[in-house]
Amino acid sequence: MNDLDLIRDLRAEMPADPAALAGARARVVAATTLTSPRRRPRSVLPRVALAGALGLSVIAGVTVVRALDDDRVPPHAAWTPAAAVETLAAGATRAAAAEGADMYPRADQWLYIKGLTYQPERGPGSVQTYERWRKGDGTQVAHRHTGGDRAGAPRPAGGGEVVTSALDPSFPPPRWDAAYVRSLPLDPAALSDRLRADREPHPHLPDEVTAFGQIQLLLQEGGPPPRLRAALYTVLSMLRGVALEQNVRSLTGREGVGVYLDHPDGQRQEIIVDPDGYAYLGGRRSDAGGQLIAAWAEVTRGIVDRAGDVP
């Protein structure tokens, strides 16, 4: 499936009845008003855990790899109806079913994820790469400590020491270890209920905003396999205010579609998905004027036998 397929599916679902069309038109007008990209005042509300948690996830060792050109992360693009997110999730579900059962690491194996993060406020050369291993039994996490500096000096790929830390598998959510991810149900309704029970409400933000951030972190840090990933996309499509943005590029330069949610203060939080294979590509966060606050991406992931191994 590509972007044209999404639009074609949407048009095929439009009702022919004039009264139904009038109602749909009214809903589109109302939704467009809600997601208009006009500049809004900056909010004094604290930013939710997404950027902070992603920042904390790379403190343990990062490599600065290159500067990011401004045109790699364009401002807000045209609005697309939320039904497109449902279409995307349905396509991901069909594709995942064709692949068969999801593969998770065994208790003695490790899930490997390599990713990138970028925060413009840190200046040029602040795209950073990290490597992380999570043991299948949920008891250990490892990272490659390679250092790096803010001036943009790269380190050799695969170099550096792998540092392993113990985890408490009984620690309550939020969690992204392999054991927790494997425990999540594949049915979207049951998954939505489980995630709601596991997340900690934010006192100043609507539940759909915290739910969106929770799913973003699961996609970025938990490396869910195709069927669980499709179920997470479906839960995203159930959130109030979610919509889809076309022609978005991830931090690695790959083109995708952005599943996004606008916060009450106008900030936009976005998850970038490959519209053909439905892979998770990354995400970004921008302010009310469309200026980038942070971006992140998945480079590769896989299951390996030892911390330090790569797929």
Where is pLDDT greater, at 65 or 93?
Answer: 93
The CA distance from 183 to 281, in Å, is 23
Banded pLDDT at 146 (limits 50, 70, 90): low
Segment 53-77 mean pLDDT: 39
Return all residues near 185 (Cβ < 8 A) that are at least 6 apart.
191, 194, 231
Segment 264-281 mean pLDDT: 95
**Domain locations in the chain as residue ranges:** 3-13+62-304
- Residue 117 pLDDT exceeds 60: yes
Give 100's strand partners.
Answer: none
Q: What is the pLDDT of residue 16?
A: 43
Banded pLDDT at 124 (limits 50, 70, 90): low
243 touches 260 (CB < 8 A): yes
Q: How many CB atoms lie within 10 A of CB 70?
A: 10
Return all residues near 271 (Cβ < 8 A) that are at least 6 apart.
212, 215, 216, 219, 236, 258, 259, 260, 280, 282, 283
Q: Is 11 left (phi over 0), alpha (psi -120 to 50) or beta?
A: alpha
Q: What is the pLDDT of residue 159?
A: 58
- Residue 56 pLDDT exceeds 60: no
Any alpha helices (H) in 110-206, and if so which ranges?
Answer: 178-183, 188-198
Residue ranges of E strands in 119-203: 127-135, 140-145, 161-166
Where is pLDDT greater, at 26 or 135?
Answer: 135
Q: Which of 13-17, 99-103, 118-122 has the highest mean pLDDT?
A: 99-103
Q: Burial, 46: exposed, middle or buried (Cβ in 10 Å; 0-12, 13-18, 19+)?
A: exposed
Give 302's strand partners.
Answer: 112
Banded pLDDT at 170 (limits 50, 70, 90): confident
Q: Which of 139-143, 189-193, 201-205, 274-278 has the lowest mean pLDDT?
A: 201-205
235 touches 228 (CB < 8 A): no
- H or E stretch at 216: helix 207-222
Q: What is the pLDDT of residue 5?
A: 44
Segment 31-52 mean pLDDT: 37
Count the helices and strands in the chain (H runs, E runs): 8, 11
Segment 213-226 mean pLDDT: 95
The CA distance from 45 to 204, in Å, is 7
3-state secondary structure of 179: helix
Return all residues near 296 (Cβ < 8 A) that are at least 6 apart.
54, 115, 116, 117, 118, 220, 251, 282, 283, 284
